[in-house]
Structure 1
Amino acid sequence: MKRLGLLFLCLLQFSCKSQIEEKINGVSFVASRDKISQTHVDPVVKVNANYAAIMPFGFIRSLSSPNVVFNTDRQWFGETRAGAKQYIELLKKNKVKIMLKPQIWVWRGEFTGDMAMQSEEDWNTLEKTYSDFILTYARLAEDTNAEIYCIGTELEEFVKNRPEYWQELIQKVRSIYKGKLTYAANWDEYTRTPFWKQLDFIGVDAYFPLNEEKFPTQLQMQQGWQKWKAKLEAAADKENKNILFTEFGYRSMDFTAKKPWLVDRNEMDVNLKAQADATKAIFEEFWKEDWFAGGFVWKWFIHHDKSGGIEDNRFTPQNKPAENVIRNYYGDY
């Protein structure tokens, strides 16, 4: 009887462990001019990432231009359908799962969330060209068995002005792609996104302001997360969906937690510790929560040996202390 009891406890323990959902430990794998080789994938595996976001691009001339141009011979290889397919196939050979995340780039880097048309005719043109863009990559997601497909990134005005279009687009994507869907809402947008119930994850680009000090401590940044964390958990409860950080990350510079979304070319002093501490703070606050699915570090370049480094104040954690932080936490989860 004692042996049977021990056997039952072992089976119960194994069953419980098998039901624990693995976190999405992802990197945002930046498109390049080049094809990728095993040399480019090895650092992704070594940082213990189990997912990569692949990001082909469509281009728009201005915030009021309705034509999405994509998959042309004028784009970098990694920004095209052929490039995304090659990236996906090699990453999958290394057992790295995929979120395919086609994105819009507005000329001169203007914020996509402000994109709005000036006439009904232009809205109709935008809807047609954006649908062509998204459905093209939905087919690629299905053909390559990508685990997650992201139908848009930070497009608040488009979503707000054309809600019926987005409902219809989701149905069209579902008719093509059988995997899980999300949308990457900006950190101050997700509470107004109307279609979470039709998707599988609440996607958030997690550039929440945490602290205004030049040298915030990890504890101060964790404290800065508390109000945002409560709202995220409330959204997860309301929609009965897990939160997925479709992007998260910090620049290796002073004031890193003040406006984490900044992508400008400022000359702010390099601060490697601030980036590492901010990264630890986000892991400590979220990766243990059962309503949290995981996230994708922004951003990871294919040429690892030439990326980041101790004199770089940009987002990538590559060849900085933050890379070791990510490796350790991803290894634990």
Structure 2
Amino acid sequence: MEYIKGFTFGFLSKKGDFLNSRAKESLKLLKERTNINHVIICLAALQDTAQSVEIDYTGPHIVSDEELMHMIDYARTLGLKVILKPLVNVRNGTWRAHINFFDVDVPCEPKWSEWFESYTNYQCHYAEIAQRTNCEMFIVGCEMVQAQRREQEWRQLIQEVRKIYHGCISYNTDKYQEDHVTWWDAVDVISSSGYYPINDWENQLERIEKVVMKYNKPFFFAEAGCPSRTGSSLIPNNWELVGEVNLEEQEKYYRVMFEKTMEKKWVRGFGLWDWSALLYDEKDASKDNGYGVFGKPAEKVIRHFYSSI
């Protein structure tokens, strides 16, 4: 598999955001400033609670199909390959990993079968767009830790998606979960969110390598990154961590992550997290403590690394 020099773009973009001229300029800057060859366009549908069975992918919280396809077309003009990643968030703020239902159906209680019916409709809708726009990869889910145990439902979902989309399919499991997915054989590429502590990359890569060798599938980190705040390099998955702005800590995290992963030839790239469709002003980069790298030292580290591949 070609090395994915990627970045996640447009997460939490709302209807109309991709029509804003700033969004195109942002994607153009992303290509110019980091030298990516892939862009992961990440869509976020919503369900009301972790036990709701209806998934909303048509409301104002998500870009329209027309503007999505328009942005994919624009990415092509920049020479980018496109990975489409529709995930689901919970309106009340619960992390999607906690979406869960009883394993044994109970009358009058929400059921896995109901949820997967709605989720499959959601995935198939965007699989059709991915097929129509010739996306290079389609990611059928992200960090669904509790749902991952429902092996047969995932296998059926992937079968349904394959009827529509004929390209490469992956699933983005969460950090520490790579060896807990039992249906990796059903996808073409294994991927995960690599938010590992800066001092623990070697241990985690050794663990993940066993999974990759077992299934003999390509692997990449569909997400990876670190906020620019003090303490984040030790717990990069905690976006709520309280800490002062620390651009140097973010820069160091990227240097170490790239150094350690380059030692493992089976790691075939990244979908770094993340680059907003509506960027902050570059002069404010030194005040930003989020995952963004625009105008920060980490941006140059990423460009140098991607340019060296």
Normalised to the residue count of structure 2, the TM-score between the two structures is 0.90
Structure-1 separation of matches of 2:291 and 2:280: 16
1:237 counterpart = 2:213: yes
1:53 counterpart = 2:37: no
Deviation at 1:288, TM superposition (A): 5.2
Structure-1 separation of matches of 2:183 and 2:165: 17
1:193 counterpart = 2:173: no
Alignment of 1:91-240 (within 5 A): 91-118=75-102, 120=105, 122-160=111-149, 162-210=150-198, 221=199, 224-240=200-216
Tell me if structure 1 keeps the 8 A contact 2:51–2:99: yes
Q: 1:40 is matched with which residue?
A: 26
Structure-2 separation of matches of 1:257 and 1:311: 18
Per-residue CA deviations over 1:163-188 (Å, capped at 9, x if unaligned) read 21111111111111111111110012
Residue type at the aligned position of 1:69: D
Q: 2:243 is matched with which residue?
A: 268
Tell me if structure 1 keeps the 8 A contact 2:244–2:289: yes
Per-residue CA deviations over 1:142-163 (Å, capped at 9, x if unaligned) read 1110001000001121121x22
Q: 2:272 is matched with which residue?
A: 297
Residue type at the aligned position of 1:114: H
Structure-1 separation of matches of 2:159 and 2:167: 13
Normalised to the residue count of structure 1, the TM-score between the two structures is 0.84
Q: 1:23 is matched with which residue?
A: 3
SS of 1:146's partner is coil
Q: Which runs of 5+ in 1 are unaligned?
A: 1-20, 211-220
- Using a 3 Å threshold, how does the CA distance of structure 1 residues 288 and 96 change in structure 2: closer, same or farther? farther
Tell me if structure 2 keeps the 8 A contact 1:113–1:154: yes
Tell me if structure 2 keeps the 8 A contact 1:65–1:122: no
The more displaced of 231-240 and 129-138 is 231-240
Tell me if structure 2 keeps the 8 A contact 1:56–1:84: no
Deviation at 1:287, TM superposition (A): 3.4
Residue type at the aligned position of 2:49: S
1:75 counterpart = 2:51: no
Tell me if structure 2 keeps the 8 A contact 1:65–1:117: no
Deviation at 1:235, TM superposition (A): 1.3
Residue type at the aligned position of 2:278: H
Structure-2 separation of matches of 1:251 and 1:292: 22
SS of 2:290's partner is coil
Structure-2 separation of matches of 1:191 and 1:287: 21
Deviation at 1:84, TM superposition (A): 2.2
Structure-2 separation of matches of 1:298 and 1:228: 19
Tell me if structure 1 keeps the 8 A contact 2:3–2:269: yes
Percentage of identical aligned residues: 25
- Using a 3 Å threshold, how does the CA distance of structure 1 residues 122 and 82 change in structure 2: closer, same or farther? farther
Per-residue CA deviations over 1:254-277 (Å, capped at 9, x if unaligned) read 11222111121x441111111001
Q: CA RMSD in A?
A: 1.7
Structure-2 separation of matches of 1:227 and 1:267: 27
Structure-2 separation of matches of 1:36 and 1:100: 20
Structure-1 separation of matches of 2:280 and 2:52: 38
Per-residue CA deviations over 1:113-168 (Å, capped at 9, x if unaligned) read 111124735222101100100000111111110001000001121121x2211111
Structure-2 separation of matches of 1:115 and 1:122: 11
SS of 1:109's partner is coil
Tell me if structure 1 keeps the 8 A contact 2:8–2:275: yes
Residue type at the aligned position of 1:283: F
Structure-2 separation of matches of 1:36 and 1:329: 30
Per-residue CA deviations over 1:15-49 (Å, capped at 9, x if unaligned) read xxxxxx64101111024342254422221221101
Structure with higher RCO (Cα < 8 A, 6+ apart): 2
Q: How many residues align?
A: 296
- Using a 3 Å threshold, how does the CA distance of structure 1 residues 243 and 36 change in structure 2: closer, same or farther? farther
- Using a 3 Å threshold, how does the CA distance of structure 1 residues 83 and 117 change in structure 2: closer, same or farther? farther
Structure-2 separation of matches of 1:57 and 1:252: 24
Structure-2 separation of matches of 1:323 and 1:51: 16
